[in-house]
Amino acid sequence: MIRYIVKRMVTVFVVLWMVATLTYFTVHVTPGDTATAILYSVGGESAVNSENLERIQSKYDLDRPIYEQYFEWVINAFKGELGTSYKYNKPVFYMLKLRVPNTIRLGLAAVALSVVISIPFGIASALHHNRFLDHVGRIFTLLISSFPSFWVAIVLIIVCALKLKLLPVGGMQGPQSIILPAVTLSMGMTAATTRMMRSSMLDVMSQDYIWAARAKGMKWNKIITRHMLKNALPPIITVIGLQIGHILGGAVIIENIFSWPGVGGLLIDAVNAKDTPMIEGCVLLIAFGYAIINLIVDIIYACLDPKVKYTGEDT
Amino acid sequence: MKKRIISILLAAVIGVSMLTACGSETKETISGAEGSSEAGAENSADEKVLRIAFPDTLTTVDVANVTSATMLKEVAGVCETLVHADEDFTLQPNLATEWKMTGDNTWEFKLREDVLFHDGTRMDAEAVKWSIEWELENNSAFAGSTYIESVEALDDFTVQFTTSQKTTDLPAALSYVGTVIVSPSSVNSDGEFVTAVGTGYYKQAVFDEMSGTFECVVFEDYWQPVETNVTRRVVRSITDASARSLAVQNGEIDIASDVPFSDLETLANSENVQVSKFNTARTYFYEYNLKKDTFQDERVRQALIYAINKEEIVSDVLLGVGGVPKGMLMDDMPWANLEVDTYDYDPDQALSLLEEAGYTDSDNDGYLDKDGEKLTLKLITFTKRPGCQLIVQATQGYYANIGIDTSVEVLEWSAMNELIQNGDFDMALNSAASAYIPTPAYYMDTYYKNNDIGYVNEELNSLLDDCKATTDMEEKYEYSKKAQALAQEDAAIFTPALYGAVFALSKDVDNFQYNAAAHDFIVPYETSLK
């Protein structure tokens, strides 16, 4: 297991390097000059003149060849220095440290909400296969996976905040502020996890050992808890892990709509300003989070399912 | 073993979530802070809290950051500049009482002697010197916008500015938000700007760096009387326009700027909200690509202006948020020339001019052509100002009515700028703050004299140079007006609409006045709550 973890960590770093490289060069080939974008973002179009552009070029060494800038960034990144944000003129690491806890908080709230809803719902749906509850569940998951998240966000704000006055529109104004963004963010994951849970339960329910347990006279509740869940849950762990990665990416839009001060807002501002150090920092953070979560999921999976052994292959 | 691993992993996850749940709030306070009072407009019988939505991300209170300086000066009312521009764009003494040009590149400013910073120290020449030098060093756009090279303290209350080139417009430049005056105690022993210790009517109470929320309270020793009942201002970063609109409707915010045009009707019908529209000094303007043969002909340029219904654009496209230009600038500007030809909507005249220039529908396909080539235009604009996309789409429609095929591209501003520099466009719709530096020469100097579209008019350039060289305001106005007349004749750049600002205010807000000379929007000290 330790060897497996070490191997996976090496893979994680390789993936991070590839993501960082792809992002770095993609930012530079997008239309628009970096120095112009920086000046515009900090001072508006009136600040963009040849003198100020020269100053910005010089300050951030933007007039050097792109490969030189890239290699310097990579070397510094290995030392743990992510550079200074062009737009905010503060260390990238410092800005991320301020905002990451909020994004994690939101992400975990969304995951928790999703798990609490989707697992029981999926189980119930499977146990009432092709009956009313199952149909309701399937329509519900279809609906919530069909609506775009930004639309759901606006509808929730209008209903829960404006009409019912139950919750704030956005920002971080207290514990209740997390509810609407977490609900919005959790919807896609809830739909996918509910369907997977249902599917996994149906698969397990059709196994011979379940029939055998029933034939032996075991109580249905005990069959569900002792046999079905134990075998139906492992694949769900993997799905949840994949969905968490999507949540980290999806949080960018949701944070912007709800003015939630997370990494998403930083990333959007950074993209508009072609703030390469900040873009790299945010992207690396999201990629790292995704990779680590999937590693954790794989370890938990191996622990739950004795048939899975990470010696390089599943057995 | 496996259960132990699961337990450890779950404990790690729970630990992370608990740590993040505890939060990492970074609140910076100064002594005498009275704590936060975000919820509700009134926490006690004596406290009146004005809550303002700021449309940009706040990450610092460092005045070298223009976003921060704009918020501190114009929204929070914590910092001030040496010079102030009135609603009619005339310069008024503020922290400086008088000024004079003492050499080609030097100016002297006398300071007010009764001004205290929020830390209780007196504002003097050394503090002004420190402040300007801090901004010069840390704001990359400062020197290029103001031409300030250095500043010296001649005595306790006199400063001398040295500029990098001769400029008669330094007083106007010193009304720019980037030149606010703060105390050296704003910086800690590590050289980090931590608190905005200004001279304004409000002083910083709390800045939550994580959420971008800024709170300020009344400074009892402010240097002039102010009539307001607001005791605290809370400024919240809300970057999404729809979120700002919803926050006002929900009663969480008292003042929100730049709400979506599509929300205006809903806001106006809301019982808790009042909508106010103002014309601003910002303009929308079209630039022709004069490097292309199509636009070498003045008749084509004029025809394309005649084809656009500016009144309809303002009333129906921008929903009344903006003004119909009577010249190229806002009417209230004392140097605005309102007697120029604005080529008012006349599609017949447009077609007539185009026909004179050789463009007719020779093949009866519904589109104009010349020498067998269809007249096709590429219109570009940028995303940040929502009105730009609406105007460009409307323009597309007007041109289709007279048989011109157009394509539209909407890009980020820097990407649009790149296309302009590369000549990869026909018409570009831009927007500019014509009173960024409120002088008669600034706007034309920036966008007409220095341009990437190939426009050159030596007579116009000479008039602008004369305008910048003289210190007599009436002469400045005259030179500027003549330059505007020439520019309108050339029709290389034209204004389809004046930029409007729309504010959604809660019904509790009283005495809110708009100052078109503001960089973005000013919440005057006198703004009160009912």
* More confident of the two residues B234 and A72: B234
Average pLDDT over residues B368-379: 95
Instruction: Tell me the per-residue pLDDT of B83-126, one tens digit each, with 9 for 90 and over.
Output: 999 888 999 999 999 999 999 999 999 999 999 999 999 999 99
CA distance B40 to B128: 38
CA distance B278 to B360: 41
pLDDT of A204 reads 87
Strands, E assignment, B454-523: 493-506, 509-510
Average pLDDT, chain A: 85
Residue B352: how many other CB atoms lie within 10 Å: 14
Instruction: Tell me the per-residue pLDDT of A32-49, one tens digit each, with 9 for 90 and over.
Output: 888 888 888 877 787 888
Which segment of A211-225, B64-78, B303-317 scores lowest on mean pLDDT? Answer: A211-225
Q: Which of B14, B194, B280, B412 to mutate to test the interface with A (most CBs of A within 10 A)?
A: B412
What percent of chain B is predicted at pLDDT more than 70?
91
Give the residue carrying structure tokens 């235009």. B377
pLDDT of A287 reads 87
Beta carbons of A258 and B243 less than 8 Å apart = yes
Q: Which of A34, A46, A98, A305 to mutate to test the interface with B (most CBs of B within 10 A)?
A: A46
Task: Collect all residues with Cβ–Cβ distance below 8 Å to B373 and sequence separation of at least 6.
Answer: none
Beta carbons of B240 and A259 less than 8 Å apart = yes
Measure B402 CA to nearest chain A CA, in Å. 32
Kindly state the tokens that stand for A5.
């973890």
pLDDT of B26 reads 40
- The β-bridge relationship of strands B369-370 and B376-382 is unpaired
At B386, the amino acid letter reads P
Given a contact cutoff of 8 angstroms between Cβ atoms, the answer to whether B453 and B287 are in contact is yes
Beta carbons of A51 and B246 less than 8 Å apart = no
Q: Which of A169, A266, A297 to mutate to test the interface with B (most CBs of B within 10 A)?
A: A169
Q: Which residues of B touch A268 (CB under 8 A)?
A: 239
Average pLDDT over residues A101-124: 91
What percent of chain A is predicted at pLDDT more than 70?
96
Average pLDDT over residues B269-294: 94
A173-232 residues touching B, CB cutoff 8 A: 173-174
Kindly state the tokens that stand for A57.
């070029």
Q: Which residues of A touch B429 (CB under 8 A)?
A: none
Q: Which of A247-261, B257-271, B485-499 has the highest mean pLDDT?
A: B485-499
pLDDT of A312 reads 47
Q: Is the confidence at residue B404, as pLDDT, over 90?
A: yes
Q: Is the confidence at residue B474, as pLDDT, over 90?
A: yes
Q: Which residues of A touch B59 (CB under 8 A)?
A: 88, 90, 95
Model confidence at B42, in pLDDT bands (50, 70, 90)?
Answer: very low
Given a contact cutoff of 8 angstroms between Cβ atoms, the answer to whether A309 and A302 are in contact is yes
Q: Is the confidence at residue A147, as pLDDT, over 70?
A: yes
- The β-bridge relationship of strands B148-155 and B158-163 is antiparallel
Beta carbons of B178 and A101 less than 8 Å apart = no
Considering CB atoms only, which of A37, A108, A154 is closest to B414? A37
Q: Which residues of B touch A92 (CB under 8 A)?
A: none
Q: Is the confidence at residue A51, as pLDDT, over 50?
A: yes
Kindly state the tokens that stand for A37.
């974008």
A259, A261, A262, A267 alpha-carbon torsion, rounded to 10°: 70
Q: Which of B19, B36, B59, B425 to mutate to test the interface with A (most CBs of A within 10 A)?
A: B59
CA closest to B446 among chain A residues: A46
Model confidence at B140, in pLDDT bands (50, 70, 90)?
Answer: confident
CA closest to A256 among chain B residues: B240
Which segment of A174-188, B340-354, B396-410 scores lowest on mean pLDDT? Answer: A174-188
Q: Which of A89-93, A304-308, B322-326 has the highest mean pLDDT?
A: B322-326
Q: Which residues of B touch A300 (CB under 8 A)?
A: 6, 9
Beta carbons of B141 and A42 less than 8 Å apart = yes
CA distance B153 to B151: 7
Given a contact cutoff of 8 angstroms between Cβ atoms, the answer to whether A262 and A106 are in contact is yes
pLDDT of A313 reads 45
pLDDT of A308 reads 60
CA distance A237 to A197: 10
Q: Which residues of B touch A48 (CB under 8 A)?
A: 417
Q: Is A168 on the interface with B (CB under 8 A)?
A: yes
CA closest to B434 among chain A residues: A46
Instruction: State the Cα angle at B520 between B515 and B526, rounded to 5°.
Output: 40
Which H or E run includes B6? Answer: helix B2-22
Measure B265 CA to nearest chain A CA, in Å. 16
Considering CB atoms only, which of A40, A99, A296 is closest to B414? A40
Q: Which residues of A touch B238 (CB under 8 A)?
A: 170-171, 259
* Residues making up chain B, counted from first to last: 530
Given a contact cutoff of 8 angstroms between Cβ atoms, the answer to whether B244 and B238 are in contact is yes
Q: Is the confidence at residue A273, as pLDDT, over 70?
A: yes
Model confidence at A208, in pLDDT bands (50, 70, 90)?
Answer: confident
Average pLDDT over residues A176-182: 94
CA distance B188 to B190: 5
Given a contact cutoff of 8 angstroms between Cβ atoms, the answer to whether B173 and B145 are in contact is yes
CA distance B174 to B131: 12
Given a contact cutoff of 8 angstroms between Cβ atoms, the answer to whether B341 and B489 are in contact is yes
HEC string of B345-369 equals: CCHHHHHHHHHHCCCECCCCCCCCE
Considering CB atoms only, which of A46, A258, A261 is closest to B446? A46
Considering CB atoms only, which of A55, A261, A269 is closest to B210? A261
Q: Which residues of A touch B413 (CB under 8 A)?
A: 32, 36-37, 40, 45
Model confidence at A180, in pLDDT bands (50, 70, 90)?
Answer: very high
Considering CB atoms only, which of A31, A46, A99 is closest to B210? A99
Beta carbons of B213 and A33 less than 8 Å apart = no
Model confidence at B36, in pLDDT bands (50, 70, 90)?
Answer: very low
Spatial CA neighbour of A106 closest among A175, A195, A193:
A175
Kindly state the tokens that stand for B18.
């608990």
Residue pairs spanning A and B at CB distance below 8 A = 181
pLDDT of B516 reads 86
Spatial CA neighbour of A265 closest among B81, B211, B171:
B211
pLDDT of B34 reads 40
Q: Which residues of B touch A269 (CB under 8 A)?
A: 57, 239
Average pLDDT over residues B168-180: 94
Model confidence at B214, in pLDDT bands (50, 70, 90)?
Answer: very high
pLDDT of B101 reads 95
Number of H helices, E strands in chain B: 15, 22
Kindly state the tokens that stand for B98.
């008088």
Measure B137 CA to nearest chain A CA, in Å. 11
**What DSSP line would sit under chain A, residue for residue?**
-HHHHHHHHHHHHHHHHHHHHHHHHHHHHSSS-HHHHHHHHHH-GGG-SHHHHHHHHHHTTTTS-HHHHHHHHHHHHHTT---B-TTT-SBHHHHHHHHHHHHHHHHHHHHHHHHHHHHHHHHHHHHTTTSHHHHHHHHHHHHHHHS-HHHHHHHHIIIIIIIT--S-SSS-SSGGGGHHHHHHHHHHHHHHHHHHHHHHHHHHHTSHHHHHHHHTT--HHHIIIIIIHHHHHHHHHHHHHHHHHHHHHHHHHHHHHTT--SHHHHHHHHHHHT-HHHHHHHHHHHHHHHHHHHHHHHHHHHHH-TT---SSS--
Measure A209 CA to nearest chain B CA, in Å. 24
Average pLDDT, chain B: 90
Considering CB atoms only, which of A104, A154, A172 is closest to B20? A104
Q: Is the confidence at residue B38, as pLDDT, over 60?
A: no
In the three-class reduction of DSSP (H, G, I as helix; E, B as strand; rest coil), residue B383 is classed as coil
Beta carbons of A95 and B59 less than 8 Å apart = yes
Considering CB atoms only, which of A39, A90, A108 is closest to B59? A90
Here the ipTM equals: 0.82
Q: Which residues of A touch B436 (CB under 8 A)?
A: 44, 46
Average pLDDT over residues B347-366: 96
pLDDT of B37 reads 42
Beta carbons of B212 and A97 less than 8 Å apart = no
Beta carbons of A33 and B64 less than 8 Å apart = no
Spatial CA neighbour of B432 closest among B337, B497, B515:
B497
A62-66 long-range Cβ contacts below 8 angstroms, 24+ apart: A62/A34, A62/A35, A66/A25, A66/A28
Q: Which residues of A touch B3 (CB under 8 A)?
A: 303
Q: How far is CA B291 from CA A78, B4, B288, B294, in A?
A: 48, 73, 9, 9
* DSSP conformation class of B302: H
* DSSP conformation class of B178: G
What percent of chain A is predicted at pLDDT more than 90?
19
Q: Which of A28, A45, A282, A310 to mutate to test the interface with B (most CBs of B within 10 A)?
A: A45
CA closest to A42 among chain B residues: B66
Model confidence at B6, in pLDDT bands (50, 70, 90)?
Answer: low
- The β-bridge relationship of strands B427-433 and B376-382 is parallel
Q: Is the confidence at residue B157, as pLDDT, over 90?
A: yes
Q: How far is CA A189 from the centre of its chain?
A: 10
Instruction: Tell me the per-residue pLDDT of A148-171, one tens digit each, with 9 for 90 and over.
Output: 988 999 899 999 998 998 999 988
Average pLDDT over residues B254-271: 91
Measure A38 CA to nearest chain B CA, in Å. 9
pLDDT of B10 reads 55
For the whole model, what pTM was predicted? Answer: 0.86
Measure B33 CA to nearest chain A CA, in Å. 19
Q: How far is CA B401 from CA B286, B319, B371, in A?
A: 19, 22, 21
A91-150 residues touching B, CB cutoff 8 A: 95, 97-99, 101-102, 104-105, 108
Q: Is A161 on the interface with B (CB under 8 A)?
A: yes
**What DSSP line would sit under B113-128, residue for residue?**
SS-B-TTSPBP-HHHH
Model confidence at A222, in pLDDT bands (50, 70, 90)?
Answer: confident
Average pLDDT over residues B64-76: 93
